[in-house]
Amino acid sequence: MKPPSALPAATEPFALAAGTLRLPPEAAPGSDSPSPPSRAAAAPKTTPAQIVLIGLGTIAFLYFARPLILPVFMACFAGMALKPLIRWLSGWHIPAALSAAVVLCLLVAAIGIGFFQLGRPALAWMNEAPQHMAELRQRVQNIFPRLARLSQAAAAVNNLGASEAEKNEAQKKSATVEVNDSRGTGSILNWTGTFLTGAGETLVLLYLLLASGDLFLQKLVHVMPTLHDKRRAVEISHEIQQNISNYLFTVSLINLGMGLIVGGGLYFMGVPNAAMWGMFVAVLNFVPYFGPVAGVIVLATVGLLTFDTLVRGFLPPAWYLLLHLLEANLITPVLLGRRFTLNPVVIFVSLIFWTWLWGVPGALLSVPILVSIKVVCDRVPAMSPVSELLSR
């Protein structure tokens, strides 16, 4: 057996002397010999051009793969929101598959009842939309007679210099309306088929996610290489699920209560179909910024169609605007706390981006996606600048 001094030079870096790690001569301090290149220095760096190309490629993929990706996102966020109910039912020793089936059936039943109870007056109002618009124009002209005189003056200027025969011909053309609805009907049927297909895919995937429990989290932890990565994956997953669940559940309760209060106020004002309009503004309130603006415009239209005077016509939008300001500045910050205090500019940009990318579902998912990104950035030290940018 060779003495310790005869050990090969390759084992010297790992030799311990008095409990300390002995460095090799070439790595000792004060040595003039160059040290071997480290792995970090040899690793290739990502250039800004490559980052831009990766980002553009991701956006293009999300846009063109929308029929495939959108149901997955909808099911994932809905699963996070409904996960507490599954855990509560599991506490009563109900299997996860049965709990998922019960929760999903109750959800579909509630949506179906709401659609049939509120959808029929909505469809009737949409079918009478041209008549309503003509009536609204007449009401506005009666309330603002100066606008009517300006409109007549503009029409007189347009007809200036025209002969009597040309005026009669223009009136005949304006009175005769030919409707060719074949292309519009085909687009509506295509949209309905796409919507039903996406809704079915979302419901099936939502059931599978709820019935599988924490299977995907266990698989994710299993493939992580180190214990630190496993712990971080579990913490990030639990925090995202908890934050998304708290956010969606709290916002849903706030908007539902707001819809009931708005509908009750409209009922006492004498607005027809008050429950339908209350639930309509409650759904619009899920979309930041654009939703409340659309709600004010819709209720202003309904008020002007319902009442003869300007003051009573603006009571419905004023009632909704007052409740929205109270909810946005007092109720929501108190219930959600500072965990969801995001930068308003980032929220607005995210809303525009996801609405352009996925339409109305993207507008509904813009804030949950932003909350998820912030949770990940808070947990990953390398992404702390992004987290600071997203915070208020």
Angle between helices 66-90 and 227-269 (to 10 degrees): 90
Sign for the CA dihedral angle at 299, 301, 307, 312 comes to: positive
The two tokens of residue 244 are: 């998304």
pLDDT band at 175 (very low <50, low <70, confident <90, very high): very low
Domain boundary residue, one of 336, 351, 383: 336
Final residue before a domain boundary, out of 336, 361, 382 = 336
- 316 and 372 fall within a common domain: no
**Predicted local confidence at residue 136, as pLDDT:** 73
Q: Give the C-alpha separation, 124 to 115, whole Å.
A: 13
Reduce the DSSP state of residue 365 to 3 states and report it: helix
The pair of structure tokens assigned to 318 is: 């004023």
Give 117 or 37, the one with higher predicted confidence: 117
Task: Kindly state whether residue 381 falls inside one of the protein's structural domains.
Answer: yes
Mean pLDDT of the chain: 76
Give the pLDDT of residue 263: 92
Confidence of residue 320 (pLDDT cuts 50, 70, 90): very high
Q: Are residues 123 and 206 in the same domain?
A: yes
CB 139 within 8 A of CB 305: yes
- Of the chain, the end-to-end C-alpha distance in Å amounts to 69
CA atoms 220, 224, 227, 233: torsion sign: negative
Residue 351 identity (one-letter amino acid): L
324 part of a folded domain: yes
CB-CB contact of 99 with 227 (8 Å): no
325, 345: one domain: no
Q: Enter the tokens of residue 95.
A: 């299997």
Domain boundary among 159, 183, 213: 213
Looking at the domain assignment, is residue 6 inside a domain? no
Residues 129 and 207 in one domain: yes
Q: Are both 310 and 351 inside the same structural domain? A: no
Same domain, 132 and 268: no
DSSP, residue by residue, 15-81: -EETTEEPPPGGGSTT--SPPPPPHHHHSPPPPHHHHHHHHHHHHHHHHHTHHHHHHHHHHHHHHHH
Q: Is 143 exposed, middle or buried (0-12, 13-18, 19+ CB in 10 A)?
A: middle
Average pLDDT over residues 71-75: 90
Same domain, 253 and 311: yes
Q: Which residues have a Cβ under 8 Å from the Cβ of 75 and sit 6 or more positions away?
A: 202, 203, 205, 206, 209
d(CA 258, CA 282) in angstroms, rounded, equals 6
Is the pLDDT assigned to residue 122 strictly greater than 70? yes
Tally of domains within the chain: 3
Q: What are phi and psi of 88, to 5 degrees?
A: -65, -40
On whether both 204 and 318 belong to a single domain, the answer is no
Among the listed ranges 189-198, 356-365, 382-391, which one has the minimum average pLDDT value?
189-198
pLDDT digits (tens, 9 = 90+) for 239-272: 878 888 888 888 888 999 999 999 999 999 998 8
Q: How far apart are CA 383 and CA 392, in angstroms?
A: 16
> What is d(CA 45, CA 22) in angstroms, rounded to the nearest whole number?
32
Instruction: Give Cα 166 to chain centroid, integer Å.
Output: 53
CA distance 118 to 377: 41
Residues 276 and 330 reside in one and the same domain: yes
Q: Is a pLDDT exceeding 50 seen at residue 179?
A: no
Residue 157 maps to a domain: no
Is 60 domain-assigned? no
Give me the helices (H) in 213-331, please. 215-223, 227-269, 274-284, 290-306, 310-313, 315-326
Asked if 330 and 259 sit in the same domain, the reply is yes
Does 313 lie in the same domain as 205? no
Confidence at residue 262, expressed as pLDDT on a 0 to 100 scale: 94
User: What is the reported pLDDT for 144?
Assistant: 62
Q: Is 83 contained in some domain?
A: yes
Structure tokens at 371: 């909350």
pTM above 0.85? no
Report, as an integer, the average pLDDT of 137-149. Answer: 64
Same domain for 363 and 322? no
> For residue 187, what pLDDT is reported?
60
Q: Encoding tokens for residue 262?
A: 């708005």
When mean pLDDT is compared over 11-25, 159-173, 244-258, 373-387, the highest value belongs to 244-258
Residue type, 226: T
Q: Does residue 90 belong to any structural domain of this protein?
A: yes
Enclosing domain of residue 322: 232-336
Per DSSP, 1 falls in state: -
Q: What is the mean pLDDT of residues 88-106?
A: 88
How far CA 35 is from CA of 41, 44, 371, in Å, comes to 12, 20, 45
Residue 106 within a domain: yes
pLDDT of residue 20: 42
What pLDDT sits at residue 257?
A: 92
